Amino acid sequence: MSGIDLINVVKRFGALTIIDKLNLAIAEGEFVVFVGPSGCGKSTLLRMIAGLEEISDGELRIAGNRMNETPPAKRNIAMVFQSYALYPHMNVERNLGFALETARLPTAEIRERVTKAAKFLKIDHLLERRPAQLSGGQQQRVAIGRALVRQQKLFLFDEPLSNLDADLRMEMRVEIARIHREVKATTVYVTHDQMEAMTLADRIVVLKDGFIAQIGTPMELYERPANRFVASFIGSPRMNFLPGLLAREGEESVLSLSGGRHRLAAHDYAGDVTLGIRPEDLMLGGGEATLEAEVLLVEPLGGESLVHLNVGDGRSIVVKAQGKPNIRPGTTTLVGWKHERAHLFGKDDRALLPGRT
Amino acid sequence: MATMRIGLNAMRARTAWLFLAPSLVVLFAVALWPLGRTFLFSFTDAYLTEPDIYDYIGFENYFTLFEDPLWWQSVRNTLFFTVISVSIETALGLAIALLLNAHIGGRGLMRAVILIPWSIPVVVSARMWQWMLHDQFGILNHVLKLMGLIDNGIAWTANPDLVMPVIIAVDVWITTPFMVLLILAGLQMLPRSIYEAASIDGVSEWRQFTALTLPLLAPSIAVAVLFRLLDALRMFDLSFVLSSNSDDTKTVSIYAREVLVNFQDMGVGSAASAAIFLMIAIVTAIYVTVFRLNRRLLGV
């Protein structure tokens, strides 16, 4: 048992409330990613689980036991830091074995665990080196190795890949996924990169200003964002938003956009709305609903292209199209979508669904 | 006509020499020339009254110096003072630096306050302490009497058993802030995250101190100790003000000045100065070598 329960958890720094009455249950063996923009409280929340920050109010339970007053060392966790936090004066082998050495494990066992972790992370040829003699990616592997050798049931990662370049980030992402698959430890992972969140997580917790904006599997968040914030945060390039008006007309609702009127299934909501459509759900030339648009720019990315369109009132949208569409900037084109791929958000930015307010 | 071409590097080198020249001239005039003259005079029988008239007498002055038991006593005094005062200052400096590095309120003010003893000129502090240590009117004896610990004032700077400890204590008071400052600067360079990692890994505070802080701080401490070592080996003012004529606290610098100025003997005085220079050079060389070896062994 090594699930985590956060019950009405609050974090205050003086008069400033960073996290307010947050509730979250993480199951044993689950890989949960906290994602959100800078300052949303995701790192603070992780550090509260680790015991590096005090919990102002509420309760933290690990494996069912209250942990608020338990020092970090007794929480049976292993943590990987953004800055790696390697001991600069020790070589890789001692860095890996230091915690075990401190715990007075037999030398033979320390050696065995260190060798195993080093092999697993492909750093066994670097054991004699000191951190300063390693590349960023290698240092990160050592930091992960240091967490692995302790064989804890709970892993915490605090933006572990943000100091690496794009290639290494992808490589280490795959590596972390592999480690989770094999070690099966409960993992909490903090990142501001929605791509890492999408690829690694069993469940994603999107945080905004200390609140949970939405919890769900990556595909749930992508397919059914609960609000405009999650809709724009998950997905790249980000979702297009257009203002409109939703009105009830008998057995159906009518959505009025500046470029036309569209009949939809009946919604209970009526009034100002925002229509959201992902670039990959827009089609050039036609669809169930269409708008006329002026082509601003075509960005070929190789296999696909990003087409920037002006849809009137100075509003621009982005379409992700396969290959390189044969259109020129300055010309007019039709852009369309399927109603089932469109998202509607009410005045309070909450997602609207047919038949619900 | 063949034009003369000067390479870019040669031009850069010439500019560099041009800029270096003034400081080299000054360095020669104030450091190398006097040092050379001191070595030169140490092989002559010159007197301060007529320094232009002298003969070379070989190592005669050095024999005189090394046969003088007072010289050897001042060497012992100097080394004793250096080892004890620098040791205490290092330990105390480290302790205070660790305290000031902790996240406690009012530490900004504390950091400023702690520097006061070091910012006072040594002669002034020495006088101040002389008054405080005065056997009849000094505040120290006054307080001790009020507390009923003593009946008669203690002659702190006249008692041969007390004078060296007193001088060491005053030196500790004056120069510990310097140690605190240098060690604190080193402490603040240490990354916070390694301590967080260690606390999660179950490393106790004491082991964090011995296994992380001390080895990482060693270079800072070593440099601070080296500075203090050089300073302490040529200590003059404190001993001169607090106990000017006592043989128990005579340092090599005071010995050299005495021979040179009081006895006007330029030859032996210069030999003593040269010997001090060599002594400091040897101690420094040993220290630096040992430290380098240590670093290599420890892999710091």
Chain B touched by A94 (CB under 8 Å): no
Q: Is A21 exposed, middle or buried (0-12, 13-18, 19+ CB in 10 A)?
A: middle
**Given the DSSP bridges, would you call strands A154-158 and A77-80 parallel, antiparallel or unpaired?**
parallel
Q: Dump the DSSP string for A272-301.
A: EEEEEE-GGG-EES--SEEEEEEEEEEEE-
Chain B touched by A78 (CB under 8 Å): yes
The reply to whether B228 falls in a domain is yes
- Write the CATH number for B257: 1.10.3720.10
Q: How confident is the model at residue B111 (pLDDT cuts 50, 70, 90)?
A: confident
- Averaged pLDDT, B51-56: 84
Looking at the complex, report in whole angstroms how far the Cα of residue A56 sits from the nearest Cα belonging to chain B. Answer: 19
Q: Select the highest-mean-pLDDT range: A5-9, B108-112, B142-146.
A: A5-9
The number of folded domains in chain B is: 1
Q: How confident is the model at residue B4 (pLDDT cuts 50, 70, 90)?
A: low
The reply to whether B166 falls in a domain is yes
- Residues ≥6 apart with Cβ < 8 Å to B106: none
Q: How confident is the model at residue B2 (pLDDT cuts 50, 70, 90)?
A: low
pLDDT at residue B188 is higher than 50 = yes
Distance CA B188, CA A277 (A): 51
Chain B residues in contact with A146 by the CB 8 A cut-off are: 197, 201
The reply to whether B33 falls in a domain is no
| DSSP character at residue A239 | P
Chain A touched by B190 (CB under 8 Å): no
Cross-chain residue pair A72–B200, CB shorter than 8 Å: yes
Distance CA B146, CA B151 (A): 9
Query: Do A42 and A189 touch, CB atoms closer than 8 A?
Result: no
Cross-chain residue pair A81–B197, CB shorter than 8 Å: yes
Name the token pair of A134: 């390693």
Q: Which helix (H) or strand (E) holds A15?
A: none
> What's the confidence (pLDDT) of residue B166?
92
Residues of chain A with pLDDT under 70: 1, 355-357
Beta strands in A303-350 (DSSP E): 304-310, 316-322, 332-337, 343-345
Per the prediction, chain B carries an average pLDDT of 89
Q: Which helix (H) or strand (E) holds B201?
A: none
Query: Do A275 and A242 touch, CB atoms closer than 8 A?
Result: yes
Q: How confident is the model at residue B51 (pLDDT cuts 50, 70, 90)?
A: confident
The reply to whether B185 falls in a domain is yes
Question: Could you give all domains of chain A from N- to C-terminal order, each with its CATH number?
Answer: 4-232 (3.40.50.300), 238-352 (2.40.50.140)
Chain A touched by B212 (CB under 8 Å): yes
> What's the confidence (pLDDT) of residue B298?
56
The reply to whether B251 falls in a domain is yes
Count of H-run helices and E-run strands, chain B: 15, 0
Cross-chain residue pair B202–A73, CB shorter than 8 Å: yes
* Exposed e or buried b per residue across B257-272, where buried means at least 16 C-beta atoms within 10 angstroms of its C-beta: bbbbeeeebbbbbbbb
> What's the confidence (pLDDT) of residue B7?
85
A72 → closest Cβ in B199, B215, B300: B199
Entry pTM: 0.80
Between helices B107-114 and B69-101, what is the axis angle to 10°?
Answer: 170
Chain A residues in contact with B193 by the CB 8 A cut-off are: 81, 83-85
> What's the confidence (pLDDT) of residue A249?
87
Cross-chain residue pair B201–A102, CB shorter than 8 Å: yes
The reply to whether B48 falls in a domain is yes
pLDDT at residue B33 is higher than 90 = yes
Q: What are the C-alpha distances in Å from A189 to residues A163, A192, A224?
A: 15, 10, 22
A62, A98, A150, best to mutate vs chain B, most B CBs in 10 Å:
A98
Chain A touched by B194 (CB under 8 Å): yes
> What's the confidence (pLDDT) of residue A36?
92
Distance CA A307, CA A327 (A): 9
Q: How confident is the model at residue B54 (pLDDT cuts 50, 70, 90)?
A: confident
Looking at the complex, report in whole angstroms how far the Cα of residue A342 sits from the nearest Cα belonging to chain B. Answer: 45
Q: What confidence tens digit (pLDDT) does each residue in B216-247 have?
A: 998 889 989 999 999 999 899 899 888 877 88
Chain B touched by A262 (CB under 8 Å): no
Distance CA A156, CA A78 (A): 6
Percent of chain B with pLDDT over 90: 54
C-beta neighbour count of A110 within 10 angstroms: 21
The reply to whether B199 falls in a domain is yes
Looking at the complex, report in whole angstroms how far the Cα of residue B222 sits from the nearest Cα belonging to chain A. Answer: 16
Give the range of the structural domain holding residue B144, as residue numbers without chain letter: 42-298
Residues forming beta bridges with residue A76, ordered by sequence position: none
The reply to whether B30 falls in a domain is no
Query: Nearest Cα to A307, choosing from A43, A38, A317, B66?
Result: A317
**Given the DSSP bridges, would you call strands A4-13 and A57-62 parallel, antiparallel or unpaired?**
antiparallel
Sign of CA dihedral B264, B265, B271, B275: negative
Instruction: Give me the residue label for tokens 């100075």.
Output: A314
Distance CA A80, CA A142 (A): 10
